Chain A
Amino acid sequence: MLTKRIIACLDVNAGRVVKGVQFKQLRDAGDPAELAAAHSKAGADEVVLLDISATHEKRTTLADTVRRTARQLFIPFTVGGGIRSLDDVIAVFEAGADKISINSAALADPSLITRIADRYGSQAIIVAIDAKRVNGEARFEAYVSGGRNPTGRDAVDWAREAEERGAGEILLTSMDCDGTGAGFDCDLTRACSEGLNIPVIASGGGGDTQSFVDVFERGRADAALAASIFHFGLHRLGDLKQELQSAGIPVRWPC
């Protein structure tokens, strides 16, 4: 049976893992290569490295950090942040990434999705979408540039277009829930997951075990991503997977 994935995310700024609350207030959380290896050992199903400062500072992804992190990692490794062109994509794959994640660049030029998919296959491309509720209702708007700029695009509608253009997965972050630990936005996740035929990774708000159970059951997520709860030892990955298994969620456990 295909299991639900727990993905550990490393938000990286200047070669260090950091964690912000609602896209602001960065705190240092350690070395990316060390943390990635530790997460893999603890039972993470995948690791995602997002260079969070890349887009607005127009920097390219830190190839050295990617290379160093990839070296001892034998589970799927996704890299995102600052990827703007096919050349950026090639550089990231050559540094050891298995998948790339694009956000702002895909919205600016949706044909980039198709060009990457044609060259590397759909399974290698994740379109990341930062979404925020409109007036607190169950409508969601896509934002770009690390959550700085609204696009006017409906997030679910954009996810559907990304799928049609060749995206293999959607990484869907709730800006309202991100960093709060108060639970994922199950309405957002479900709207996207049910409207699409590709896997949806829920992100933003992961806290206690019940929040993960909820996003898999009510939110219909295929995978759930979290960062700070793992880095700061608030939740041990192995314990989380064991508890999910007890709650009837299919997970890869023991690893």
Chain B
Amino acid sequence: MIAVVDYRAGNLTSVKKALDHLRADAIVTGDPEVVAQADKIILPGVGHFSSTAILEQSGLRTAILHRINHGALFLGVCVGMQWMFECSAEAPGIPGLGLFPGACGRFTKSVKSPHVGWNSLTCHDESRLLRGIRSGSFVYFTHSYSAPVVKQTVARCEYGGEFSAAVEQDNLFGVQFHPEKSGALGLKLLENFCCLSC
């Protein structure tokens, strides 16, 4: 079972709809006990980094970390991916999970912000999540903050500098773009995640 974590942040409907389309066994839940039973966890998110504070208050952070430590597959989307890093300049007082090193920062003033639209990926590693998705493929982004390129980065994107478009390590996956809004290619990525075994 895939738990789509509900922390009142944006695109839950879209993510659930895409998973339904793929006939995945997924439920939307804000209940830490349900998350604690999940084989896979998706943390969506459009919006402000501060909205992740509710994950701490509700006990979801503990439940998620517990499941991750027991090998459950975790996919963070957009702010959900940023939360996997140490912190974000968008909400300095709120810690991320620190699963990946570094802090998320704002785009440089040389480009418009938010970064909205279809941008191309540079895939530069063997990735289980991006299987079948080639370098140069276009995916849909909408965000004002981004995560740095780190050694776990499996796809980069360029917008006023390079940032992590996708990160991956063992059972941990994150994408800055929105697979649920990236057409056939995005559905392919979600299908990859659904088909991965722990």
Q: Which residues of A contact B (CB under 8 A)?
A: 1-5, 40, 45, 70-72, 74-76, 93-96, 98, 118-124, 168-169, 196-199, 222-223, 252, 255
**Do the beta carbons of B17 and A98 come within 8 Å of each other?**
no
**Do the beta carbons of A45 and B180 come within 8 Å of each other?**
no
Interface majority SS on A: helix, strand, loop or mixed? Answer: loop
- CB A66 to nearest CB in B, in angstroms, measures 11
**Do the beta carbons of B116 and A45 come within 8 Å of each other?**
no
Residues of A contacting B18 with CB < 8 Å?
74
Q: Which of B121-170 contact A (CB under 8 A)?
A: 138, 140, 142-144, 158-159
Encoded as 1 (CB less than 8 Å from any A CB) or 0, chain B from 173 to 198 comes to 00000101111101100000000000
**Do the beta carbons of B17 and A71 come within 8 Å of each other?**
yes
Complex: A197 Cα to B13 Cα, angstroms: 29
Within 8 Å by CB of A74, from B113, B116, B187, lies B187
Residues of B contacting A45 with CB < 8 Å?
117-118
- CB B126 to nearest CB in A, in angstroms, measures 25
Decide yes or no whether B171 CB sits under 8 A from chain A: no
**Do the beta carbons of B117 and A5 come within 8 Å of each other?**
yes
The interface size bin for chain B is 35 or more
**Do the beta carbons of A93 and B13 come within 8 Å of each other?**
yes
**Do the beta carbons of B116 and A120 come within 8 Å of each other?**
no
Within 8 Å by CB of B120, from A1, A98, A122, A196, lies A1
**Do the beta carbons of B21 and A74 come within 8 Å of each other?**
yes
Residues of B contacting A1 with CB < 8 Å?
119-120, 158
B47's closest neighbor in chain A, by CB? A121
Within 8 Å by CB of B114, from A75, A198, A255, lies A198
Encoded as 1 (CB less than 8 Å from any A CB) or 0, chain B from 1 to 30 comes to 000000000110110011001000000000
User: Closest 10 interchain pairs by CB?
Assistant: A121-B47, A123-B142, A252-B118, A252-B138, A2-B119, A123-B114, A3-B118, A199-B116, A76-B181, A5-B117
- CB B64 to nearest CB in A, in angstroms, measures 21
**Do the beta carbons of B117 and A96 come within 8 Å of each other?**
no
Within 8 Å by CB of B116, from A40, A71, A169, lies A169
Decide yes or no whether B46 CB sits under 8 A from chain A: yes
**Do the beta carbons of A222 and B17 come within 8 Å of each other?**
no
Complex: A210 Cα to B144 Cα, angstroms: 32
